[in-house]
């Protein structure tokens, strides 16, 4: 065994190998020494466990492999061929070209983030999106924070702490990823008062629950589930009417934050931001990266007196939006104001793609992939806490594995290990690729990876 250890090369010998030439140019000496040491430690542990001494070549290659694996960023690009448009696990909404350019502009150098150029004095970061949001929503005031979970938390903390907030039993829900309305309420210091029943809540249920210490009525959109059958939920207008008569307000958690009516594309109605404000919600909050199609953010719009209290709450600093997000958000909101959201925002491009365009693209892919591929009818999903269960008809490329070759699960795994990774859907014994969610410039990479794997 001692001989086995002695046969191992030194760190210096490994590092002077010509195969490590490129690494020597790009990495610091210390980083390389560390890699080689750890490779040698692995080899010594293997000898201790009874293995034969690793060859010199395999050690050099081990160092190269470590360099590649350890310095490869963990966050990788994924081509989404699943047909699920908004998927939290793969980063929700892709950004428009303009939003990406805005992020680059603001992160490359300095900006007037909190600086007023005409006066040379301090400015507010909210200014960059407040007016855009106000115009789109028809609201008096607006602000943006880190995400919608923070928007709900800061809204409740700033406006309802130590007081009661009334919510329908059907809306005291979990949105996912540990975001449960009753728990958020505890965090904010507001007291939850549940009214009505799981399936039916009337305006009079809210009315009867009001006490001296009621601060607000809370409405939470059923973003990721649906209750069907014998159901009733007081409308926002009815809730506002009750709140107004008692000098309190409605906090409306819209979830997705839709500005475009999805019924235009054969989908069910989703509460629109502008409708919530028009109905008189004191504060409406929603996500930036669901149906809005922008970066991760939480947007609050509503009455100025309420938004001002939120802006000056100590949590505002803790959940504040960063400059890259602000840049992307502002560019995304501009698409709506310019009336070009369907054409420029990827999420809306995907929703509004025509059947003809999908069929043409699927046909082209199937021809390139070869005899194992054919075009079939299928459904794309909106996904990610938006329009639960809603689908859009689509054309899929179905790939059936060769009888003697790898299984469909193995093919899907190999596609995930490509760079960029490809995510497909599996149905029975076929791999399904949906062109709807594959960005227009990703076809070449997708087909190359599929041909490599299939």
Ligand X SMILES: *Cc1c(COP(=O)(O)O)cnc(C)c1O
**Using CB under 6 A as the criterion, which residues of the chain lie in contact with ligand X when the complex forms?**
147-149, 152, 175, 179, 220-221, 223, 253, 255, 287, 298, 385
Query: Could you tell me the smallest distance in angstroms from the CB atom of residue 286 to ligand X?
Result: 8
**Four-residue CA torsion sign, 155, 159, 161, 163:** negative
Query: Could you tell me the smallest distance in angstroms from the CB atom of residue 296 to ligand X?
Result: 6
Per DSSP, 421 falls in state E
Using the minimum distance from each CB to ligand X, give the nearer residue, 148 or 330: 148
- In the bound state, the residue with its beta carbon closest to ligand X is 255
Q: Are strands 174-176 and 164-168 parallel, antiparallel or unpaired?
A: unpaired
Using the minimum distance from each CB to ligand X, give the nearer residue, 147 or 332: 147
Taking a C-beta distance cutoff of 8 angstroms, is the pair 223, 255 a contact?
A: yes
Q: 79 forms bridges with which residues in the sheet?
A: 422
Query: Could you tell me the smallest distance in angstroms from the CB atom of residue 288 to ligand X?
Result: 7
Using the minimum distance from each CB to ligand X, give the nearer residue, 215 or 319: 319
Using the minimum distance from each CB to ligand X, give the nearer residue, 170 or 385: 385
Using the minimum distance from each CB to ligand X, give the nearer residue, 147 or 380: 147
Query: Could you tell me the smallest distance in angstroms from the CB atom of residue 306 to ligand X?
Result: 18
Using the minimum distance from each CB to ligand X, give the nearer residue, 154 or 449: 154
- Return the number of other C-beta atoms located less than 10 Å from residue 231's C-beta: 13
Using the minimum distance from each CB to ligand X, give the nearer residue, 378 or 385: 385
C-alpha distances (whole Å) from 113 to each of 51, 116, 147, 318 are 60, 8, 19, 17
Query: Could you tell me the smallest distance in angstroms from the CB atom of residue 297 to ligand X?
Result: 7
Using the minimum distance from each CB to ligand X, give the nearer residue, 351 or 415: 351
Give the Cα separation of 28 and 319 in Å (integer): 37
Give the Cα separation of 247 and 243 in Å (integer): 6
Give the Cα separation of 109 and 187 in Å (integer): 37
Element containing residue 34 per DSSP (H, E): helix 29-48
CB proximity list for 97: less than 8 A, separation 6 or greater:
344
Query: Could you tell me the smallest distance in angstroms from the CB atom of residue 162 to ligand X?
Result: 23
Query: Could you tell me the smallest distance in angstroms from the CB atom of residue 252 to ligand X?
Result: 10
- Residue 73, SS3 per DSSP: coil
Query: Could you tell me the smallest distance in angstroms from the CB atom of residue 185 to ligand X?
Result: 13
CA dihedral 321, 327, 333, 335 (to 10 degrees): -160
Using the minimum distance from each CB to ligand X, give the nearer residue, 53 or 168: 168
Burial of 238 (0-12, 13-18, 19+ CB in 10 A): middle
Query: Could you tell me the smallest distance in angstroms from the CB atom of residue 175 to ligand X?
Result: 4
Ramachandran sector of residue 91 (left: φ over 0; alpha: ψ -120 to 50; beta: rest): left
Query: Could you tell me the smallest distance in angstroms from the CB atom of residue 102 to ligand X?
Result: 20
Q: Residue 364's Cα: distance from chain center in Å? A: 30
- H-assigned helices in 189-229: 203-209
Using the minimum distance from each CB to ligand X, give the nearer residue, 239 or 422: 239
- Return the number of other C-beta atoms located less than 10 Å from residue 414's C-beta: 16
Give the Cα separation of 131 and 330 in Å (integer): 10
Residues across the chain: 454
Query: Could you tell me the smallest distance in angstroms from the CB atom of residue 88 to ligand X?
Result: 7
Using the minimum distance from each CB to ligand X, give the nearer residue, 88 or 400: 88
Element containing residue 435 per DSSP (H, E): none
Give the Cα separation of 291 and 386 in Å (integer): 7
Structure tokens at 190: 């507001």
Using the minimum distance from each CB to ligand X, give the nearer residue, 63 or 144: 144
Give the Cα separation of 264 and 403 in Å (integer): 44
User: Using DSSP, how many helices (H) and how many strands (E) does the chain show?
Assistant: 20, 19
Query: Could you tell me the smallest distance in angstroms from the CB atom of residue 255 to ligand X?
Result: 3
């Amino acid at each position: 065994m001692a001989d086995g250890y002695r046969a191992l090369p030194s760190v210096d010998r490994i590092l002077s190998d010509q195969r490590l030439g490129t690494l020597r140019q790009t990495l610091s000496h210390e980083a390389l020494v560390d890699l080689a040491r750890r490779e040698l430690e692995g080899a010594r542990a293997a000898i201790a466990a009874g293995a034969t001494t690793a060859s010199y070549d395999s050690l050099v290659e081990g160092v190269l492999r470590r360099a590649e694996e350890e310095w490869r960023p963990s966050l990788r690009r994924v081509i989404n061929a699943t047909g699920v448009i908004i998927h939290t696990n793969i980063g929700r909404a892709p950004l428009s070209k303009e939003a990406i350019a805005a992020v680059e502009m603001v992160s490359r150098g300095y900006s007037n983030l909190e600086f007023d150029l005409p006066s040379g004095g301090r400015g507010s970061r909210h200014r960059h999106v407040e007016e855009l949001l106000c115009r789109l929503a028809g609201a008096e005031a607006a602000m943006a924070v880190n995400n919608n979970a923070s928007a709900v938390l800061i809204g409740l903390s700033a406006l309802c702490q130590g007081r009661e907030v009334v919510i329908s039993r059907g809306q005291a829900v979990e949105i996912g990823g540990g975001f449960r309305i009753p728990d958020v309420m505890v965090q904010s210091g507001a007291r939850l008062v549940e009214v009505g029943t799981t399936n039916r809540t009337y305006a009079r249920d809210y009315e009867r629950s009001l006490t001296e210490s009621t601060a607000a009525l809370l409405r939470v959109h059923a973003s990721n589930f649906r209750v069907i059958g014998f159901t009733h939920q007081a409308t926002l207008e009815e809730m506002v009417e009750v709140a107004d008569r008692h000098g309190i307000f409605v906090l409306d958690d819209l979830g997705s934050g839709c500005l475009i009516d999805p019924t235009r594309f054969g989908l069910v109605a989703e509460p629109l931001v502008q409708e919530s404000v028009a109905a008189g919600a004191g504060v409406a909050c929603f996500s930036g990266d669901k149906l809005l199609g922008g970066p991760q953010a939480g947007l609050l719009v509503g009455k100025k007196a309420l938004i001002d209290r939120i802006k000056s709450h100590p949590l505002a600093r803790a959940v504040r939006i960063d400059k890259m997000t602000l840049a992307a958000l502002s560019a995304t909101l501009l698409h709506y104001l310019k009336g070009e959201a369907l054409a420029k925002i990827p999420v809306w491009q995907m929703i509004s793609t025509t059947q003809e365009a999908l069929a043409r693209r699927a046909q082209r892919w199937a021809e390139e992939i070869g005899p194992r591929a054919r075009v079939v009818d299928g459904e794309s999903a909106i996904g990610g806490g938006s329009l639960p269960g809603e689908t859009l008809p689509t054309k899929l490329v179905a790939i059936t594995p060769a009888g003697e070759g790898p299984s469909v699960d193995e093919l899907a795994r190999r596609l995930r290990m490509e760079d960029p990774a490809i995510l497909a859907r599996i149905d029975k014994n076929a791999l399904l690729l949906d062109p709807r969610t594959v960005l227009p410039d990703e076809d070449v990479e997708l087909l190359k990876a599929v041909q490599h794997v299939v």
